[in-house]
Amino acid sequence: MWGGRFADGPAAIMQQINASIDFDRRLYAQDIRGSQAHCRMLAAQGILSPADADAIVAGLDAVRAEIEAGTFPFSVAFEDIHMNVENRLSELIGEPAGRLHTARSRNDQVATDFRLWVRDAIDGMGQALTGLQAALIARAEEHAATVMPGFTHLQAAQPVTFGHHLLAYVEMIGRDRGRLADARRRLNECPLGSAALAGTSFPIDRAHTAAALGFERPMANSLDGVSDRDFALEFMSAAAICAVHLSRLAEELVVWTSAQFRFVRLSDAFTTGSSIMPQKRNPDAAELVRAKTGRVIGDLAALLIVMKGLPLAYSKDMQDDKEPVFEVADTMELSIAAMTGMIGDMTVNTQVMAAAAGAGFTTATDIADWCVRELKTPFRQAHHVAGRLVKLAEDQGCGLEDLSLAEMQTIEPRLTESARAVLSVASSVASRTSFGGTAPSRVKDAVAAARRRWLEGAQP
């Protein structure tokens, strides 16, 4: 490839550290697509003859067919996917293959291939996240009125509905889709034509290749075109935030499936047993989703560190950009699929959830709100009344709703039977009718709105 300058071949260890074909072969479809677009542009500009262009395009189709059939002779000697494809093209069609690289460098070639690959990965991840949202929305509709304890600090706080809880994750995943869509818009500029770093003296048409590859426009600066990896970092950043959301939901599944909670049950499809304890049903799929978040965050950190000290334009360090990106895409594909499966698979123990919803004096805020509404008590004073009622119930070993009116009136004489009525879990949940609240009526509306926003063609 550069034999005109170098008299001797590389040392074995140099060849080993320099080669990337073992992982960048995943770019083959994008590489061939980019090369064919470049070839057609060169022909349209009169830089290549029509005969040479036809031979190159047909030869690249043959190379793609060999790769997809598993018969392509990948070789470390040719370093990467770009040179492997070009070498095989030369074997297939001869001299015209050597004209393909006119007005192009591997620098802008790989930048283009990589952008195309990340764009495809974003599209795939967005589709998978839409499927996860659909699963969450379906379960939220099913459990719009299923009561459960809502937590802060993992302590019982106020009753909520399970549907409302699940819809919180629909919103998180929606923002993840939005971040991916934003990243896609920003990456959708074409580096091809930047050449090594300074552009080219050939009369190329960069708008032609950009349009052929589905980009919005050519990148405006050739130095930026070959050296930018913001698009990969932004994809990984969005993926890392999404992975954190998946991890939080996975953690809740781990807690909810425990014998101490028993809120939900996962089937044999998403659990494993123990080699020594025959009674165990371990939520391993959820635990692995939780664990893989660390890998995604680590891959993001790895590429940030690779890029942080690089001057313009291209440096060989950037060969190490692809493996972390590939791993992030693979990990997220697996994690999203596992989470979607678990949401659809889980059996909800509504009776246990309902029993737990009132434990821990979760309706104490309701009595404070009643004092504000009915007695016109300042909230801070009402909060104090509710706190004293909690202390009374705690001392007597009963729930707030088990206190008699006479007992409650020892704390606040103006309390009435209507005050006692707000202490039930059902009353508490039903009263939360503010927009975005947990009342079953609101949850049903939110389910319908979520379907319209996220599942019926609307873009985030």
Question: For strand 217-218 and strand 155-161, is the pairing parallel, antiparallel, or unpaired?
Answer: unpaired
Find the catalytic residue in 153, 275, 404, 434: 153
Burial track 114-137 (b if 16+ CB lie within 10 A, e otherwise): bbbbbbebbeebbebbeebbbbbb
Structure tokens at 456: 């019926």
Q: Are 303 and 321 in contact (CB under 8 A)?
A: yes
Nearest to 352 by CA among 444, 442, 252, 257: 257
Which residue type occupies 382?
A
Nearest to 319 by CA among 80, 9, 43, 73: 80
404 labelled catalytic: no
Q: How far is CA 90 from CA 56, 62, 96, 382, in A?
A: 9, 12, 8, 84
274 labelled catalytic: yes
Structure tokens at 405: 């009116």
Q: Are 246 and 176 in contact (CB under 8 A)?
A: no
State how far the Cα of 283 lies from the Cα of 136, in Å rounded to an integer.
Answer: 19
Q: Are 244 and 296 in contact (CB under 8 A)?
A: no
Question: For strand 189-190 and strand 217-218, is the pairing parallel, antiparallel, or unpaired?
Answer: parallel
Find the catalytic residue in 75, 267, 274, 315: 274
Structure tokens at 208: 């032609």
Q: Are 231 and 118 in contact (CB under 8 A)?
A: yes
Catalytic residue positions?
A: 153, 274
